[in-house]
Structure 1
Amino acid sequence: MAPHQDSDTDDTEDSDETPEDLSRAALVAARDLRKDRIALAVRSGTSGPDRRRALAGLVEDALVRAWKAAVAEVPVRRNRRPAAEGLALAAVGSVARGDAGPASDLDLVLLHDGRQLSASDVGELAQRLWYPLWDAGLRVDHSVRTPGQSREVAASDLSAAIGLLDLRVIAGDAALVVRTRTSLLGDWRNGIRRRLPQVLESLGERAARFGEAAHLLEPDLKEARGGLRDVTVLRALAASWVTDRPHGEVDDAHTRLLDIRDALQAVTGRAVDRLLLPDQDSVAVACGLTDADELLAEVSDATRTIAYAVDVTMRAARQSLPPRRLRPGPRRPRLRPLGHGLVEHDGEVVLGVGVRAAEDPVLPLRAAATAVRSGLPLSPVTVRHLADDCPPLPDPWPAPAREAFVAMLAGGGPALAGVWESLDRAGLIVKWIPEWAGVRNRPQRNAVHRHTVDRHMIETVIMIQGALRDVSRPDLLVLAALLHDLGKVAGALDHSVTGAPRAARVARRLGLPPEDCEVIERLVREHLTLIELATRRDPDDPHTVEELVKAVDGRLETLSMLRALTEADAVSVGSVAWTAWRARLVNDLTARARTALRGEEPPGPAPIGEAESDLVRSVLADGRPRVAIGAMDELHVVTVVAADRPGLLADIAGVLASQRLTVKSALVRTVSSDDGDHAQDIAVDTWWVDNGAGDAPEPAAVELALRRLGDGDQTVLDPLHRREAGYRAPSGAPARPRVVLLPGASAEATVLEVRAADRPGLMHAIGSALARVGVDLRSAHVATHAGQAVDVLYVSEPGGGQLSPPRVAETVSALVDAGSLPGGETEHAARVLPF
């Protein structure tokens, strides 16, 4: 877009328009700009670059009108030359680059030479310039500076320095803007040795704050790693003359990201850059994509390309600016042999002289394993040569190829992610594992996950390194970690079942014998079994251990690998998925399964301890409930001992919820006492609860609340009722729960799984429903993820035994009613899962 140049003539001098006319026209143009930009983005039908050029024209025309109105009253100095000769309106940021979106902010600078007008006159001019834009509702980031002040700001502020490199004239003295930009560029180039560490630090800070756009469910298209801000950094590095920036793929990725940003702003009508979940389907349609998953895959691919380009360019910049040396003269390259014809050069792994890539199909794998082992990145040029020149691997792979592949994975560490990314960018991963294409860049519709499916599997490989020395077949374990989520493809109902045969196919292609392929297939199919049994089933029930033993085919070594895979999978997801409490549950169930596999007698249900027996005797003496509270890992253990009665479970859950405690698990036991005159049942209930960072409640307060509830005083639950009244379910939360019957999960109880939108008092509502139906709760296992509660309930008749089919139906209906959100329908839905 050619800039308007008004340096030699006064635009208003020969016009018949009065300053008032110009001001009105400027305000109308600014108001029209706000709606015309959105209208153009919605209706234009042109390509992204053409549309953005048209948007830039609209912006520039409105700004020129605002400029004419503002300078119309600038006093005329000597020789009738306009004072505006030393003034200019300039743009920085996306407006200057011509890639602003339909609702992007206007980043403007009023530049003056400090001689033509006094400071007060410049201030008045700035007010006349900005006010029409503000009155029109436009978002303006503005400043008033001289060239010297601009250089001072750039010297002290890295972000300003990078932004000012794009300084471009909109109206006024173009020569003033050009001189200022030239000075700023000179300062940037002369100071790049000092600036480069600052650039690297700012990249890290933004990545830590906003995350990696490629792996986020709601990425910030501008600020997150791989976003539009990183493209600006690439331009700045290229402007320093110490390195060039990649083009081709990077330019295409930048264009795609701008198109998505434009669609987001057109859909929302606001200057937003974060792609929120409620907007994604609409943005996908605006971009001509099928759905939000395809949209996020596009974002992931584009931002991965940009992030990789930033890493490569930063390395090139650092290599071109080595530490200052005492000796003058040219710098000799340092070549450190790494084996297999590979050498280290400038901190990268490169091919040595005379290596014949065209004759060695295993060379890319050896290079990758060498890079991971040495903790160095692969040179981009080397990766391209390996991808283009090396012949394809045979099917099945020869043993050296498989060994190099496993060595790369087992090398682990931070280097693995970078090396894998470079291989993936070059297309080598999909050549080796065609099934990888189905999960590449695939988003995970789960707020717990931090990464896309493919990156999550790499993170799992990294996390499993510590367990490799503890198993007899570390090669099978690391391959299972790499392939465990290979079934998360479009349309898969159960990714474990879908992924198992895919993983086996990959294992066969790698040249593993059938028995090893079967182990990998089993680990992939069962990789969720241990965590689900440990957190959602009763470990004291023999059927729970039997299911785990069956899942590992009765093999201790497979159990050990499954235990390691379970932890690595969860840890790579994040701290929410793997806590000390979850680790305790997994370890307990694994120990029980090991005992069974060794043919030893498994431990029975946890007995009543001495401390609990003392509480039972106190309750028998005076009939009052007793409460003990202790700490376990990051949770509190609340033990409630009270005379058993209908509704006791609901009362306990209600009191805990009133104390703002979140129930994670519950074990319900009953002790029968017969003193000769009458028998009495005493409930000994253990609740594992989480109260965030708060202190544990006082046992006396819980005891008092339970006594008042036992006497019929329901006001105890008023705090809970107030929380429930103020609760607003998240948009899109299902109004009705799903209740699933798990047949065969226990021989002594009926096992029901309740999946419902989590809310305050949900467990209290469930307990009340069970009391109304008249069934006993033997144990409860509670998990909450992304606002969804999964409660597994072991229920039985009051005298013991499983529920009859009519009683199951009655209980399911009551649980659906209890778990439904206010205003939601209460039709129940239950289904039977084979086990």
Structure 2
Amino acid sequence: MSGAADKERPVSEIIAAACERERAGQSHGEVGPAIRRIVEARRKSVALEYARGDIAAERLARTIEEVIGALFSAGAALHPAARKLAVVAVGGFGRRLLAPHSDVDLLFLHDGDATAIRPLVDFMLYPLWDAGLKVGHAAHPPREAVRAAERDMTARTAWLDARLLHGESRVFRDFRQAYENLRKRTKKQFIAAKEDERAARHARAETGRYLAEPDLKEGKGGLRDLHFMRWVWKYAHETDIADPKGRKRAFSAEDIAAFRQAERFLWSVRVQLHALRGRAEEKLSFDLQPVLAERLGFNDRGDMTAAERLMRRYFMNAMEVGRLLRILTARLEEEREIARLSPAAIRTLPKALGRDEAGEGPNLRLHVGRLHFQNPARARKNPIDSFRLFRAYARRPDFAFHPEALAVVAASVRNVTAETRDDPKIAELFVSSLTEAKDPVRLLRVMAETGLLGAYLRAFGKIIGRTEYGLYRRYSIDETAYRAIGVLHEIIRGEASEKHPIASRILAAAPDRRRYFIALLLHEIGWGMKEAGIDAVERDIARIARRLGLGDDEARLVGWAGARHRLMQETVERRDLSEPASVRRFAEEVATRERLDLLLVLAVCHQRVVAANSWDDWTRRQISMLYDSARAYLEGGEEGLILRREASAEEARAEASAHLSARSGGERARQLDRLPTAVLKTAEPELIGRIADLVSAAENEGATAAVSARLRDGLIEAIVYAADRTGLLADLAGAVAAAGASVRSVQVTTSEDGKAIDVFAAQAVDGAIPDAELARRLHAKLLEAAQRAPARPPSFSRRIGDRRAMFHVPAKIRLDAEASASSLIVEAEGRDRPGLLYDLCAAFADLGLTIASAHVATYGARAVDAFYVRDGKGRKPADPARLAAIEARLRAALDGGEGARTPLTPKP
């Protein structure tokens, strides 16, 4: 029977006819393919026809029911054991919900004669498997099934939603009765086990609800959290948590509506996700986000793409799921604890919480050990009560929020007015809560989830749940700000003095830390502004900081630093710190020690959390070097900077001497004398020692080139020593790519006698931690390239799993002739890809330019590489025609990839 004809016939008729032909010997293996055609057609149609994913999932479940019903009917005619068998849907299938590629879970119940029912079970299962369905199943007598459920929590959970499809109802009733007996005597055990499972699942899925590529099913705020709520409430009270007519309700009518809406949204995304992938995919990966957004009706709007709007909706939905989860867990805890607590424990507020910045007598009480309002009706009308609630939590986070109190806070948000925002008492409550909280990250998240934070700080409200579409950021924009404040809190508590010694000293000496908290809270608000130029962001941050209680000067300081929180990081990534001009220009822009200190703290806290690999030992060393140099310049001018560099070089030289392999002091001194001054001024002592040993060993052996590579801090540190030549850096960059690595950073130095000393920090292209095999391969490729130029340009291919190609990054070229006294600084920005650094370096070689220094920075799919270049005579290129040629050639390299490559030709 053709697929086209099948569309016009009922499912039961198609399967019955196929079964009959097989039974009559007219065909073989026909039933499975017939089912496959039915299911595949239904998968496609539900994804296209139903905007609501829960309806699509219900329709697909109904189709599978029809398939199973047809198989059972055909099998029952052949096997008399059907009278003793009950076919039961469990799990999601039991709830009448199936995503296009979800498992179909079945329980076969029988009267104890497993042998008798086996042929009928096989008759049903094999065609389903042949159709490509993933069918989970178990077969038990009723009481044995319940004993299995008692031993296995997964089975007990799935069978909570058991639903009879076909067969013997008596057997199913026996099972239900036995299961009910188990449920009634194991409520506490089940809830505790599910809570432990949830905690472990959240830990596996990482601790954030706001990952840029969330797991729709297992992540925080995903479907599994909704399942958890359904399971524990139904197990405890034998009623559906989303049933407004249930005999016992966990939620208000408004929260039941919110639960259903959250579930509908997640099912809508999930159905389309499965349909797009053609398999059971639960991760909202970057490549799918734009397509999902289009299918779900999101469009580009203003400064947000459709994908960003989809993800913001997803995160707001996850936030709502989190709120509902808190309500339920509090309700369950209340049921457990209320019997054993005294009336005083339910009502009395500790004396320490009886007064705050707004005075005495806050409208608060304790209810079953949780913070609640004494008069909820008054709190709904007076937002200051909500801020006093959070102030109490900041002091005593061991008293969790009562869910009804958070519902009151959410209701009070509509009364947050301009008068509320300008109230100095409320500002004092808010800032004190933030700066004195024992867990400021959780405080801010909950405040955001109730809507209070976004209503009070409207500029911040515009970035709540917002994402940056791309591979760089790990979390949503607001989550990045919360976590950065978490790092600040960690430093203030003295828990990061070894990791962040400078920031620790700055904060320990600060008499008032409000500026640091406010600057970090507001440093990302430019993402929500229509006019996001740096001056506009600075004005907005300063305005809000002033409203939060900072004086004019301090507010301006916070505005300046918050708007430029990337300045320090961009300087270390794109400028040569061995050049005094780089430090001078940075220090003159910063202008004051106060700005420098605030900028350092912002850089550390932001970089620690913004991306998976945004903070490493190289970043720490470079930021520390820039801070120390800029501080020396601010305090002593040019002379102070020179003295600081000389002292640093002497200190580095002395420390490096201890790392050298030579035994005599004279030999060690000669080794260090061979190194360029720039190495002594910018490299750390241990690296200086390794460079000196490599240079000495190569010269002693008469080698034309030498390479040293080692694993360090999740990277491969490779030192290359070779005779300099036109195109050397391009050849080395090509060698890194050919080895299967990418360049994290490179320091390029040339000695007076024409020897190149290049230090690469390389990483695995797939983001994995490099291993010894990659280090060995990199060593071999670098040595080969250092010894001789390749006969032909290398070719690069995109690796499986490399997702950079899915993003569009406009090519940009920036030329700066003022920032360096001796070199033209060229910044090339575009989409990163294998061999990009090679292409850029090769372009310079083709133009007859030498690279004095190179600085590589990647932000997900975006690469920003900065080069200090000179012409063949060692001068800074200045001719307008040549500058135009540089820009055109580099743009071709960024845009053209393979087509932009030409063989390197040595220049005289």
Please state which band the TM-score falls in when normalised by the shorter chain. 0.7 to 0.9
State the secondary structure of the residue aligned to 1:288: coil
Shift of 1:321: 2.2
Which residue of the partner structure matches residue 525 of structure 1? 563
Q: How do 1:535-684 residues align onto structure 2 when only pairs under 5 Å count? A: 535-552=573-590, 554-600=591-637, 601-603=640-642, 604=645, 610=669, 611-614=671-674, 624-627=704-707, 637-655=717-735, 662-672=742-752, 680-684=753-757
Q: Which residue of 2 aligns with 1:249?
A: 258
Q: Read off the aligned partner of 1:63 and give its amino acid letter.
A: I
1:577 is displaced (CA, Å) by: 0.9
Task: Within 5 Å, give how 1:674-823 maps onto structure 2.
Answer: 680-690=753-763, 692-695=769-772, 706=783, 712=788, 714=790, 721=794, 724=797, 730=803, 731-732=805-806, 738-804=812-878, 805-818=880-893, 823=898
Secondary structure of 1:578's partner? coil
Q: 2:448 and 2:211 mapped to 1: Cα distance?
A: 19
3-state SS, counterpart of residue 287 of structure 2: helix
| Aligned 8 A contact 1:817 1:826 in 2 | no
Amino acid at match of 1:397: D
In the alignment, the residues of structure 2 paired with residue 283 and residue 705 of structure 1 have an alpha-carbon distance, to the nearest angstrom, of 43
Question: Among 287, 291, 295, which residue is 1:282 paired with?
Answer: 291
Q: In 2, distance between residues paired with 1:710 and 1:318?
A: 67
2:828 is paired with a residue of what secondary structure?
strand
Residue type of the alignment partner of 1:143: A
Deviations along 1:28-48, whole A, 9 cap, x unmatched? 873453134234424535755
Quote how far apart the aligned CAs of 1:358 are. 6.8
State how far apart, in whole Å, the 2-side matches of 1:67 and 1:358 are: 58
1:655–1:702 Cα contact (<8 Å) kept: no
The reply to whether residue 127 of structure 1 matches residue 122 of structure 2 is yes
Match among 394, 397, 404 for residue 422 of structure 2: 397
Instruction: Give the match for residue 215 of structure 1.
Output: 210
In the TM superposition, 1:281-680 aligns within 5 A as 281-290=290-299, 291-322=306-337, 333=346, 335-337=348-350, 338-340=353-355, 341=362, 342-352=364-374, 357=379, 361-375=383-397, 376-388=399-411, 392=416, 394=419, 397-413=422-438, 415-465=439-489, 466-467=491-492, 468-489=507-528, 499-552=537-590, 554-600=591-637, 601-603=640-642, 604=645, 610=669, 611-614=671-674, 624-627=704-707, 637-655=717-735, 662-672=742-752, 680=753
Shift of 1:317: 1.7
Q: Give the Cα separation in 1 of the matches to 2:54 and 2:697.
A: 79
**Superposition deviation, residue 323 in structure 1:** 11
User: Structure 1 residues 221 and 798 mapped into 2: Cα distance closer, same or farther (>3 Å)?
Assistant: same
Measured at CA, do residues 470 and 559 of structure 1 come closer, stay the same or move farther in structure 2, by a change above 3 Å? same
Deviation at 1:106, TM superposition (A): 1.8
Matches within 5 A, 1:218-229: 218-229=213-224
**1:389 CA drift (Å):** 5.7
Equivalent pair of 1:757/1:789 in contact (CA under 8 Å) = yes
Give 1:274 deviation, angstroms: 2.8
CA distance in 2, matches of 1:725, 1:314: 48
Shift of 1:88: 1.1
Distance 1:726 1:417 in 2: 38
The CA distance in 2 between the partners of 1:761 and 1:522, in whole Å, is 38
State the Cα deviation string for residues 60-111 of structure 1 (Å, max 9, x = none): 2222111111222223xxxxxxx43331111112222123234433222222
Asked if structure 1 preserves the Cα contact closer than 8 Å seen for 2:600 and 2:627, the reply is yes
Cα distance in structure 2, aligned partners of 1:541 and 1:446: 33
Alignment of 1:184-203 (within 5 A): 184-203=179-198
Q: Is the 8 A contact 2:472 2:859 kept in 1?
A: yes
Correspondence for 1:106 among 104, 110, 127? 104
Contact 2:428–2:549 (8 Å) recurs in 1: no
Contact 2:428–2:548 (Cα < 8 Å) also in 1: no
* Contact kept? 2:711, 2:775, Cα under 8 Å: no
| Alpha carbons 1:253, 1:305 under 8 Å: kept | yes
- In structure 2, the CA distance between the partners of 1:447 and 1:818, relative to structure 1 (3 Å rule), is closer
Q: Does the alignment pair 1:20 with 2:25?
A: no
Opposite residue 90 of structure 1, the aligned amino acid is V
The one-letter code matched in structure 2 to 1:442 is R
Task: Please name the residue that 1:174 is paired with.
Answer: 169
Higher relative helix content: 2
Q: Tell me how far apart the structure 2 counterparts of residues 409 and 318 of structure 1 sit (CA, whole Å).
A: 28
Distance 1:690 1:303, change over 3 A: closer
1:69 and 1:793 map into 2 onto residues whose CA distance is: 75
Rounded Cα–Cα distance in structure 2 between residues aligned with 1:395 and 1:724: 58
Residue deviations 1:295-344 (CA, integer Å, cap 9, x gap): 2122212222123322332233233224997x9x9996474513243444
CA contact (8 A) 2:705 2:787 kept: no
Cα distance in 1 for partners of 2:61, 2:175 equals 22
Asked whether the equivalents of residues 364 and 387 of structure 1 are also in contact (C-alpha less than 8 Å), the reply is: no
Partner residue, 2:267: 258
Q: Quick check: 2:346–2:369 contact (8 Å CA) kept in 1?
A: no
Paired residues for 1:132-151 under 5 Å: 132-151=127-146
Give per-residue Cα distances to partners, 1:782-828, cap 9 Å, x unaligned. Answer: 1233244332111112333321233333334444455566555789x
C-alpha contact 2:722 2:786 (8 A) present in aligned 1: no
- Show the counterpart of 2:200: 205
Look up the equivalent residue of 2:873 and give its one-letter code: G
Q: Which consecutive unaligned segments of at least 5 residues does structure 1 have? A: 1-11, 76-82, 673-679, 828-835
Answer with 222-231 or 688-697: which moved more: 688-697
Maintained 8 Å contact 1:629/1:639: yes
Q: How far is 1:721 from its partner?
A: 4.6
Query: Aligned partner of 1:20: which letter?
Result: E
Q: Indicate the SS of the match to 1:667.
A: strand
Give deviations 1:262-301, integer Å, cap 9, x for gaps: 2333444444333333333332233222222222122212
Matched residues in 2 for 1:66 and 1:701: separation?
59
- Which has the higher mean CA deviation after the structures are superposed, 799-808 or 728-737? 728-737
Aligned pairs for 1:57-136 (under 5 A) are: 57-75=62-80, 83-114=81-112, 118-136=113-131
Query: Could you tell me the percent identity over the aligned residues?
Result: 25
Q: What amino acid sits opposite 2:754 in the alignment? A: D
How big is the shift at 1:589?
0.5
2:371·2:400 contact (CA, 8 Å) conserved in 1? yes
Q: For 1:486-542, what per-residue CA distance to the aligned partner results, in whole angstroms no more than 9, with x for missing partners? A: 111386766x55543332342344354433332222122111111110122111233
The amino acid that maps onto 2:169 is A
The equivalent residue for 1:7 is none
State the partner residue of 1:832.
none
> C-alpha offsets along residues 435-460 of structure 1, whole Å, 9 cap, x if unaligned?
23321211222333232112221122
CA offsets 1:369-394 (integer angstroms, 9 cap, x no match) = 22122124321212333454696462
Contact 1:378–1:422 (8 Å) recurs in 2:
no
Q: CA deviation at 1:200?
A: 1.9
Distance change in 2, residues 1:69/1:661 (3 Å): closer
* Deviation, structure 1 residue 187: 1.8
- The match for 2:5 is none
Q: Deviations over 1:189-244 (max 9, x none)?
A: 42122233321221122222334784233332222222112211111111133685
CA RMSD of aligned residues (A): 3.9
Letter in 1 for 2:600: R
Closer, same or farther: CA 626–297 of 1 in aligned 2, 3 Å: closer
Q: Which residue of 2 aligns with 1:3?
A: none
SS of the residue 1:377 aligns to? coil
